[in-house]
Structure 1
Amino acid sequence: MSRSTSPDMNSIGKRTKAVSKCHTRRVAYCAVAVLTSLGLAACSGFTYGSDTPRIDDESIEQTAQFPRDGIMRFHYATEHERQYGDLFLPRGQRYSEPVPLVVMIHGGGWMEKSDAASTNDLAENLTTYGVAVWNIEYRGIGKEGQPGPGGWPRTYEDVAQAVDFIPTLAERSAVPLDLTRVTVTGLSAGGNLSAWSCSRPALPNGAPGSNPRFEVNRCVGLAGVYDLKLAYEQHDRYVKTLLGGTPDEVPDRYRLSSPAENINKDATIVVFAGRNDEVVNYDEATSFVKEARAAGLKIEEHILNNASHVSWAKVTGAQWKLARTHILAQVGIKAENLSSVPEDTGVRISR
C-alpha cells in the first residue's frame, strides 16, 4: 500500500498431472471429512527444512471440515490456527472431468485482523463459472509497529505451503481438480502474495518459498504491491512492520518479497490497477510491468481510470467483472468477450 494518506494457456513449468479420483474414493473421503467436522481430530504433522517449512506428505493425514455448504476446509500446516484454506466447489452440476483451480489470496495490509472471509464473495462468484477456488488464510502482522504471528518470513512461508499443498488438495477434493489449469489471484497485499507465489521458481536457493514443490505460473494481480521498497518510499503504512525494518536495515527481505525483483520468465501475469486508488499507487503496477518486460516476462497491464482500491472487491462491479474475465481466461474458460470492456471502468489497456 503505497500512500500514507489512507494508508495463451501457458503450461505449468513443472506440470503436475491432474489427480482423477474414482467415485468410491471421493465418497469414502467425504465420509471421513464429515466425521472430522463433528469433532474427530485428525493426526497430522510436518517437517522443517533449511528454509520454508514443508508438509511431510507421508506422515500427515489431512481431513476436511465443512464450515459452509459447498466448502471444504483443510489445514495445509499445523503450526498455527490460521494455516488453512477453504476449497470452494463448483455448484449446480456433476463434474465427470477435472475442473480448473483458482488460488485466491486476500489482502488487508498483510494484517492479522484481515482474513480470508473478505474474499468469500469473489470465490463463490468464480465457482458459478465451473472452477474450484482455494481461498487461503495466512498468518498476518499486528497493528502498525506491533508484532504478530505473521510477518517475514512466516506470512510468505504460509503462502508457499498453501500452494505446495495443492496436489494433496486435489487428492482430497470432492470434485476432481485439473492441476494443469491453475491460476492465482489476489487483491492489494494479496496481489503481492499472488505475484510472489509465481516468482518462487526465480528465488535463490535457501530463500523462503524457494524450490516450490508445485508451481503456479499464471497470475492476475489486483491493485497489488509488487516492489516493497517502492512502497516504503511512498510511505506505505505496513511494509516496515511486515519485513521487520527499513530497506537499508533489511535489504534482502525487501528484495526477496518483491515480485518485481524476482522475475519468473515462465509465468503469464495480468495486473490491474486504478488511477483513483487511494491506498496503492498505480505506479506499483506500471513499474512492475516495465521491469518484467525488460526481463522477458509475458505480462499484461490494465490501468483503469475509474477504479478505487475497493472497486475490485465488489462482486457486482464492472472492475471485478473485467478482472474475473481474465482470471477465467487463464484457466481456459471464456466467460465473457475479452475484447469487450465495460464502459464505466474507463479502462486504458497497455500490452
Structure 2
Amino acid sequence: MPDDAAAARAAAEEESAFSHPPVAPDATAAYGDHPDQVIDFYAPRTDAPLVPLVVVLHGGAWRARYDRRHISPFADHLARRGFAVASVEYRRGGDHPIPAQHTRTGSGPGTLAGPATGLGAGTGTAPGADAAPGHGPRSGAPAPLAGRWPDTLDDVAAALDALPALVREVLPQADPRRTVLTGHSAGGHLALWGAARHVLPAGAPWRIDRPAPLRGVVALAPVADFAVAAELGACDDAALQFLGGKEEFAERRPYADPVLLLPTGIATTLVQGRADLDVPQAVAESYADAAARAGEVVGLTLLADVGHFPLIDPAADACAVVAEEIAQLAW
C-alpha cells in the first residue's frame, strides 16, 4: 500500500490532469455504427502543408466512465505542437462515462459539441457522472468491469483500418507515412497491441498480413504485461477483468497481451513515471526486458517523482517529455 504522502501526491496529479476543460475537436468521423465507434480529429496549429499524424488511444482501465473527453486536452496539446491528431473512441466495460468534464456545453474549444460531431459524439452524461474520478482505490467505490471482450479489440482494429481513408477526407494536412501510435495506461496497451497485429496468432480475427505502416509507438504507462499487471492488481485488477476473469486469462492472453507479441519490428518507446501507483513501473520494465530477450530494443524513459497522470497533463513537465518522444519518432 502507498504511504499517505505518495497517495496525496497521486491524487493531486490526477486532480491537475482532470482540471482542464475538454477541448472540442475540429471534426469527428465514424468508423462503425455503434455510438462509440468514432474518431475525433484535431488539425495541426501550423501552416505547414504536411505534418506527422499522431493516433491517440485514451486510457481509463478500459472502463466506460473514462471516454476520450479526458484526453482531449492532451490531443489539443499535440495539435498545438504541430501534429495532426486522431483520437480514437472504442467500446469499454461498465456503465458510466467519465465523471466531471460533462457539464460544459456550447461550441468551440473547451466546450462539448452536439451529438453529431465533436466531443459529444458517442457518449453522454450518465447516472453517477458526479462521482470522483479515479482508476480504482482512490475513487472511493468499487470499479466497474474493465473492457468488453472482444468488442474493445474489434473497435481498435476497425478504427486503425479505417483511419487512412478518414484522414484523407477529414485531415488533409496529415501525412500517413509519418504515423505514430500513442496511448495512455489501457490506451498504451491498445497502442502496443495495435502495432503488433501482424504477429497475432494465426486465425486471430484482428491479424493483418504485414506490419502496419507506422513510424513507431510511444506507450505511456502502458498495461504492457498482463501477468505482471494482474499480479500487482494494477487499476483494480483491470487486466484480469479485461480478459474475462481467471478462467479465460490464460486462453486469451496470446491474443491480447503485448508482452507475448514480440518482436514487432516497429520502433517502440515506453514512458513511465517511477511513482506511478496505478500501473507500476515493473509492468513497463517487464515488457522492455521481454523485448530485449526477443532481440528487439525498446526505449524506456523513466521519469523520477512522476505518477500516472502527468504524462497526459499539458500543465506537467512530463507531458512535454512525451511530446518530445513522439517528435523523435515522427519527424
**What TM-score do the two structures reach when normalised by structure 2?**
0.74
| 1:279 shift after superposition | 0.9
Secondary structure of the residue aligned to 2:195 is helix
1:210 counterpart = 2:197 = no
1:274 counterpart = 2:273 = yes
2:288 is matched with 289
1:184 counterpart = 2:139 = no
| 1:208 shift after superposition | 3.9
CA distance in 2, matches of 1:310, 1:68: 18
CA distance in 1, matches of 2:76, 2:298: 27
1:326 is matched with 325
CA distance in 2, matches of 1:212, 1:245: 30
1:71 counterpart = 2:26 = yes
| 1:199 shift after superposition | 1.1
| 1:196 shift after superposition | 0.9
CA distance in 2, matches of 1:230, 1:266: 23
The higher radius of gyration belongs to: 1
1:239 is matched with 239
CA distance in 2, matches of 1:69, 1:206: 39
| Residues 198, 215 of structure 1: 8 Å contact kept | no
| 1:145 shift after superposition | 8.1
> Which AA in structure 2 matches 1:134?
A
Secondary structure of the residue aligned to 1:133 is strand
2:94 is matched with 142
Partner residue of 2:68 out of 111, 116, 125: 116
Query: Any unmatched runs of 5+ in structure 2?
Result: 1-5, 11-21, 96-141
Q: Which is helix-richer, 1 or 2?
A: 2
Partner residue of 1:88 out of 39, 42, 45: 42
| Residues 228, 282 of structure 2: 8 Å contact kept | no
| 1:68 shift after superposition | 7.4
| Residues 58, 183 of structure 2: 8 Å contact kept | yes
Where do 1:311-322 residues align within 5 Å?
311-322=310-321
Partner residue of 2:192 out of 180, 190, 195: 195
Where do 1:43-62 residues align within 5 Å?
none
Secondary structure of the residue aligned to 1:170 is helix
| Residues 225, 287 of structure 2: 8 Å contact kept | yes
CA distance in 2, matches of 1:195, 1:311: 20
1:220 is matched with 218
1:167 is matched with 164
| 1:92 shift after superposition | 4.5
Q: CA distance change for structure 1 residues 255 and 204 in 2, over 3 Å: closer, same or farther?
A: closer
Q: CA distance change for structure 1 residues 217 and 141 in 2, over 3 Å: closer, same or farther?
A: farther
Q: CA distance change for structure 1 residues 166 and 275 in 2, over 3 Å: closer, same or farther?
A: same
Secondary structure of the residue aligned to 1:103 is strand
| 1:83 shift after superposition | 0.5
1:154 counterpart = 2:151 = yes
| 1:202 shift after superposition | 0.8
| 1:310 shift after superposition | 1.4
1:28 is matched with none
Q: CA distance change for structure 1 residues 317 and 161 in 2, over 3 Å: closer, same or farther?
A: same
Give the aligned CA root-mean-square deviation in angstroms: 2.4
CA distance in 2, matches of 1:257, 1:109: 14
> Which AA in structure 2 matches 1:114?
Y
Q: CA distance change for structure 1 residues 133 and 304 in 2, over 3 Å: closer, same or farther?
A: same
Q: CA distance change for structure 1 residues 109 and 68 in 2, over 3 Å: closer, same or farther?
A: closer
Number of residue equivalences: 264
Secondary structure of the residue aligned to 1:241 is helix
| 1:163 shift after superposition | 0.9
| 1:232 shift after superposition | 1.3
Q: CA distance change for structure 1 residues 264 and 158 in 2, over 3 Å: closer, same or farther?
A: farther
CA distance in 1, matches of 2:204, 2:41: 28
Q: CA distance change for structure 1 residues 108 and 70 in 2, over 3 Å: closer, same or farther?
A: closer
1:35 is matched with none
CA distance in 1, matches of 2:65, 2:209: 28
| Residues 217, 266 of structure 1: 8 Å contact kept | no
Q: CA distance change for structure 1 residues 212 and 308 in 2, over 3 Å: closer, same or farther?
A: farther
Query: Any unmatched runs of 5+ in structure 1?
Result: 8-66, 333-351
2:127 is matched with none
Secondary structure of the residue aligned to 2:285 is helix
CA distance in 2, matches of 1:274, 1:70: 28
| 1:71 shift after superposition | 1.3
| 1:317 shift after superposition | 1.1
Secondary structure of the residue aligned to 2:196 is helix
| Residues 59, 184 of structure 2: 8 Å contact kept | yes
CA distance in 2, matches of 1:131, 1:163: 18
Identify the range of structure 1 (162-171 vs 115-124) with the bigger mean alpha-carbon deviation: 162-171
